[in-house]
Structure 1
Amino acid sequence: MTKTALITGATGGLGNEFVKLFAAKNNNLVLVGRNSEKLLSLEMEIKSKYSVEVETITADFSDSEAAEKIYEQVKKMNIEIDYLINNAGLGGQGSFIERTMTQDISMMNVNMMVPTKLMKLFIPEFVRRGSGKVLNVSSSAALIPGPLQAEYYATKAYVTSLSNAIAYEVKDTGVTVTTLMPGAIETGFAKAGGLTQTKMFAHGASPVDVAKKAHKGMMAGKLNVFAGLSPVQRPFVGLMPMMPKKAIMGFVANQQSNAN
C-alpha cells in the first residue's frame, strides 16, 4: 500500500531532497511551503518524474495558526498521513539585543510552535492506527548555547528535547519519532539567515547525503541521527555536553564570525 509523506519547507534545499527521496521510494506527497509558485513548479517536476500523487499547501509558518490550517486542508483532501517531516526552519545571525522582537517571535513560531502543533495534531492519529513515523529536523546546535545565534540554538534544543521525550512516550505504539541533528548544510537556509560568510557554513555538507541518512534513520526508528558534521564538529559532538560552557561558547561565537 502506497504511503503518504507530509513535508514542510518542501521547496528549500534539504526539503527538496526529502521530496525527491520520498517520491523515488513511491510515496505520495503533501508538500508545504510559503511560496505557491515554487510549490507548483516542484509539484509539476515530481509528477513528471515519478508515478506518485502530489498535493500542495501554501502556508506561512510565522502565522501562529499555520499548523491548524495545514491540518484542516489535509482533512479536506481526505488524505491519511503516514510520515510527518517537520523540515521547515528559520535561522538568523545577530546578538540578542540587536535582533528585533518580530524576528525572534517568527523564529520561535517556525522552529518550535508549528512543528509542535503538527505533532500534536497528527501523532494521536498515528497512535490510534498503530503506525506512523515523524522526522523532526533539529541541529547539532541543540547540544550547546550559541552566542550570535542564541534564539536559533535554543529553539533547536527545544525541538530535540521534545522529540526525544515524545519518542519515549510512544515507543510501544508502533509510532516512532526521529530527530535529525545535522551540521552546516549547503542550502538556502544559510543565505536566508545571513550565514553564508561565516566559518561555520564555509564548508557545508551536501543536502543529498544528509537527506539519505535522515531517511534511513527515520525508517529504522532511530532516536537521533547525526549527519553532515564538518571535520571540526565531528570530534566535539560527544564531548560538547561535558566541556566548559564558556570555552564552548567562545568557539561557537568564533565560528559565527566572517570566514574571510
Structure 2
Amino acid sequence: MEQIALITGASGGIGLEIAKLFAKDKINLLLIARSEAKLINLKQQLEKDYPIKVHYIAADLSVIDGLYVTQRYIDENALQVEHLVNNAGFGDYGPFVERSMEKYREMLGLNISTLVELTHYCSKEMIKRGHGRILNVSSTAGFQPVPYFAVYAASKAFVINFTEALHKEFEKTGVTTTVLSPGATQTGFIEKADMGEAKLYKSGVMSAEDVARVGYNAMKKGKLHVVAGFGNRIQAFFSSMLPSSQLRLTIAANVMKKASR
C-alpha cells in the first residue's frame, strides 16, 4: 500500500505550508480542499519540485458526503494514511444572535464532526499497524470562552480536549496525537470569519509558514500540545491561570471588539 500524509484544508494557509514540509521530507500526499483548481495547481507544483506523488480530492468536508468521498478514495486507491493533519476549519465573528445559524451548523460540522470521523477512520488502521501521527489544528481561542467568537472558540476547546484525551488513550499503541494552537495567523481565515475589524488583527500576526513549522515539528516528535509563538504561549498560560471567569471574559471581549477607527 502507498503511504501518504492526508491534509485537510490543504489549498492555502497553514495546510498548504504543512503540505510543503511533508513534500520536502519526500512523503506522498493526499490533499483535500474545496477548490479543485487550487488543488490541481498545487499537485503540479509539488510534483515538479519534489520526488513525490500528490493525490487530491475536491470536496466539502463540512457535509457527510465529503467524508464518504474521502474514505472511498482512500480505500479504492489502497492508500495507507501514516500522517493525518486535520487542519480544515473556519470561524465566524460577531454577536452570536446576529450571525447565521446555517453557518454555525457548517462550522461545527467541519471543526468538530469531520475531525472526529476522520480521526476515528484513520487511527483504527494506524493502531492495527502500530504506528502513525495525527495533528489536529486548534486555536488559542480554545483556551477560554471568547465573546463575539463563541461558537468557534467552543469548537476549538473541543479539539484540544479531544486530542489530549486520545494522546493518553494511544500512548502504548505507537500512534500519537498532537494539537497545534495558533494565535492570529496571516491566512484566508480572517476574511472568511469576517474579522477584519477585530482589535486582535490590528497588531502583528504570525505567518502561516512559521505556524506550520511549529506544528509539523511537534507532530513528528509526538508531542501532546504546542502553542505557536512566544506571545501566544504567554497568553495561553495566563488564560489558564486567571482565577476569575468574569475577568477572563472581560479581557477576551475587549480583545475581540472592533478596533476604533
Q: What TM-score comes out, normalization by structure 1 length?
A: 0.95
Q: Compute the RMSD of aligned alpha carbons.
A: 1.5
Find runs of 4+ consecutive structure 1 residues off by over 6 angstroms: none
State the distance in 1 between where 2:116 and 2:2 align.
Answer: 26
DSSP 3-state at the match of 1:80? strand
Aligned to 2:205: 204
1:112 maps onto 2:112 in alignment? yes
Aligned to 1:246: 246
Aligned to 1:126: 126
Q: Percent identity?
A: 35
Gaps of 5+ in 2: none
Shift of 1:49: 0.8
DSSP 3-state at the match of 2:200? coil
DSSP 3-state at the match of 1:237? helix
State the distance in 2 between where 1:248 and 1:21 align.
Answer: 36
- What letter matches 1:133 in structure 2? R
Q: Which has the higher helix share?
A: 2
State the distance in 2 between where 1:195 and 1:228 align.
Answer: 20
Q: 1:1-260 maps to which residues of 2 (within 5 A)?
A: 3-202=3-202, 203-228=204-229, 231=231, 233-243=232-242, 244-259=244-259, 260=261
Deviation string 1:61-106 (CA, Å, 9 cap, x unpaired) is 2213422321111111111110000000111101221112101100
- What letter matches 2:22 in structure 1? F
Shift of 1:249: 1.4
Range moving further from structure 2, 238-247 or 183-192: 238-247
State the distance in 1 between where 2:128 and 2:23 align.
Answer: 26
Shift of 1:256: 1.6
Aligned residues between the structures? 258
Residues 154 and 55 of structure 1: is their aligned pair in 2 closer, same or farther, counting only changes over 3 Å? Answer: same
Q: What TM-score comes out, normalization by structure 2 length?
A: 0.95
Deviation string 1:38-73 (CA, Å, 9 cap, x unpaired) is 111111111111110000011112213422321111
Range moving further from structure 2, 107-116 or 195-204: 195-204
Deviation string 1:195-254 (CA, Å, 9 cap, x unpaired) is 13322122210111111111110011000011035x4x4433212123111121122222
